């Protein structure tokens, strides 16, 4: 069989092994496919709605006189968070005063709340955060409050100078 093209394999002289003639290979150009993939990827990235961030819904009162609620101070638990991230609990008393502040580790907030709630299930949390503290500390405190198996009733109050002095007296 003479001539070019794809012929039967030739037998090499002397060793008996078979060798194929090298034929022209098929080459597939992948560039257009990569271009199409990139265009599709860009299209879906630009048209897909990303998941909306999960926000905590807070209903704030308008501050009218009729919106004010009378609360027995014996049912109040003050939760103060210092700029260093320390959490302090103080139980309110019916005469308007409050108990001595107790430092609570952030990881123990939920268990401490459950203990206090077991004694008084009409508990209202008054949360006071120092403006200089880090946001993740506030988020951690909220996470611990949500982990506690209590009825979550709380209000936010501004950290006053008297509160800062109480925190400093308790150790900052």
Q: Are 129 and 79 in contact (CB under 8 A)?
A: no
> In the prediction, which pLDDT does 23 show?
67
Residue 9 lies in a domain: no
Which tens digits make up the pLDDT trace of 147-162? 888 887 888 888 888 8
**Domains of the chain: total:** 1
Residue 99 contacts residue 129 (beta carbons within 8 Å): no
Whether 79 maps to a domain, the answer reads: yes
Residue 132 lies in a domain: yes
Answer whether residue 6 is part of any domain.
no
Q: Domain for residue 44, yes or no?
A: no
Judge whether 35 lies within some domain: no
The owner of tokens 């609620």 is 69
CB-neighbour burial class of residue 43 (10 A; exposed 0-12, middle 13-18, buried 19+): exposed
Residue 43 lies in a domain: no
Residues in the chain: 172
pLDDT at 132: 86
CB 81 within 8 A of CB 130: yes
Domain that includes residue 162, residue range: 72-170
145 domain residue, yes or no:
yes
pTM across the whole model: 0.59
Q: What is the CATH number of the domain that holds 112?
A: 3.30.420.270
- The per-residue pLDDT for 10 is 53
The whole-number average pLDDT for the span 95-101 is: 84
Cα distances (Å, whole numbers) of residue 26 to 5, 58, 133, 149, 159: 15, 65, 66, 68, 76
């Amino acid at each position: 069989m003479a001539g070019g093209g794809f012929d039967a394999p030739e037998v090499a002289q002397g060793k008996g092994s078979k060798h194929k003639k090298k034929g022209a290979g098929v080459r597939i150009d992948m560039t257009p496919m990569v271009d199409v993939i990139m265009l599709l990827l860009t299209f879906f990235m630009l048209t897909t709605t990303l998941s909306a961030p999960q926000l905590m819904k807070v209903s704030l009162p308008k501050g009218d006189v009729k919106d004010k609620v009378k609360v027995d101070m014996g049912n109040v638990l003050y939760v103060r968070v210092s700029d260093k991230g320390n959490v302090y609990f103080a139980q309110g008393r019916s005469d308007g005063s409050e108990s001595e502040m107790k430092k609570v580790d952030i990881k123990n907030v939920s268990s401490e709340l459950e203990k206090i709630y077991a004694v008084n299930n009409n508990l209202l949390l008054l949360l006071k955060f120092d403006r200089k503290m880090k946001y993740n500390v506030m988020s951690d405190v909220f996470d611990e409050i949500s982990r506690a198996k209590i009825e979550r009733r709380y209000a936010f109050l501004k950290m006053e100078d008297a509160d800062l002095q109480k925190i400093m007296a308790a150790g900052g």
